[in-house]
Amino acid sequence: MQIFPDWNSLDSVRNWHTIFQVAGIALLALVIMAEMAPFRFGQRKDSLIAQHEATFVADEKAHEAARMRQSREIDALAAALGETNRKLAEIERVHPMRHLNQAQKQALSASLASQPKGKFTIMASAGVVDAREYAEEIAGVFRAAGWTVQVESGVFMENDASGAWVAARGTIGAAVPPIGQAIYNALKSADIPIRPSAFRDNNIPDGEDAMLKIGSPAAASR
């Protein structure tokens, strides 16, 4: 051991003994840490993997529950739509939807071509399935002929709110305004069902003298 300086010095040997003791303890501690660290990190790794898997499973269950709930809602909507279509088909069977055929459209256009242009409102019964669409078809032909026509939906207070009729401003017995007569003549010439006389109504839109009302199809053959 002569390679160590002061090998024969008591103080030097004591110092080196202390140094090697401390170094040995430090090395032993490092060895223990080297053994414990993988074990602890392995435990932590397993814990994190378990947490991740638990979260993944919980998310999958939540997504599956959402998919099932969405599927049930879609099935319910499909069932409701099917029932609605069935009811509409039944209504269509009992009360066929009114539409202007091509011959009526052509005849109405021909009649309007020889008349001055006017402005009026078509009021469609809000409680009748086909009233608004039927009103829009009639309005479309008038508009194509240069008329200004507005379509609205409303609740009728008449005792008989079936068929189509001209409502004119003024009192009973007074002459029908020219525009009211023009509307009636045009529809009649196209064989579009309309009541033969104008009814008095003071709820005509401002600036207009007459309007066309579309009710239920029950009296469409009048």
Give the pLDDT score at 4: 57
Q: What is the mean pLDDT of the chain?
A: 86
pLDDT in tens, 33-53: 777 777 777 778 888 888 888
Question: Which one is predicted more confidently, 25 or 93?
Answer: 25
pLDDT at 219 over 60: no
Residue range 198-204: mean pLDDT, rounded? 87
- The residues near 114 (Cβ < 8 Å, ≥ 6 apart) are none
| CA distance to 41, 131, 181, 187, per residue, from 195 (Å) | 93, 16, 12, 10
Give the pLDDT score at 220: 40
119/202 Cα distance (integer angstroms): 17
The strand order across the sheet containing 199-200 reads 148-154, 119-125, 210-214, 164-168, 199-200
Q: Is 210 helix (H, G, I), strand (E, B) or coil?
A: strand
Residue range 187-193: mean pLDDT, rounded? 95
Structural domain spans, the chain? 1-94, 102-219
pLDDT in tens, 157-189: 888 888 999 999 888 778 889 999 999 999 999
pLDDT at 57 over 60: yes
Tell me the pTM. Answer: 0.58
pLDDT at 136 over 70: yes
Residue range 73-91: mean pLDDT, rounded? 85
pLDDT at 133 over 70: yes
79/92 Cα distance (integer angstroms): 20
Torsion of CA 3, 4, 6, 12, to 10 degrees: -170
Burial bucket for residue 195 (CB in 10 Å: 0-12, 13-18, 19+): middle
Least confident stretch, 90-94, 113-117, 141-145: 90-94
The pLDDT > 70 percentage for the chain reads 90
Using the structure block, give the residue that is written with the tokens 């790794």: 45
Say if CB 118 and CB 196 are below 8 A apart: no
Question: Which one is predicted more confidently, 74 or 38?
Answer: 74
Confidence of residue 77 (pLDDT cuts 50, 70, 90): very high
Residue 49 has, within 13 A of its CA and on its CB side, a CA count of 6
Question: Which one is predicted more confidently, 118 or 26?
Answer: 118
Give the pLDDT score at 91: 65
Using the structure block, give the residue that is written with the tokens 């009526």: 104
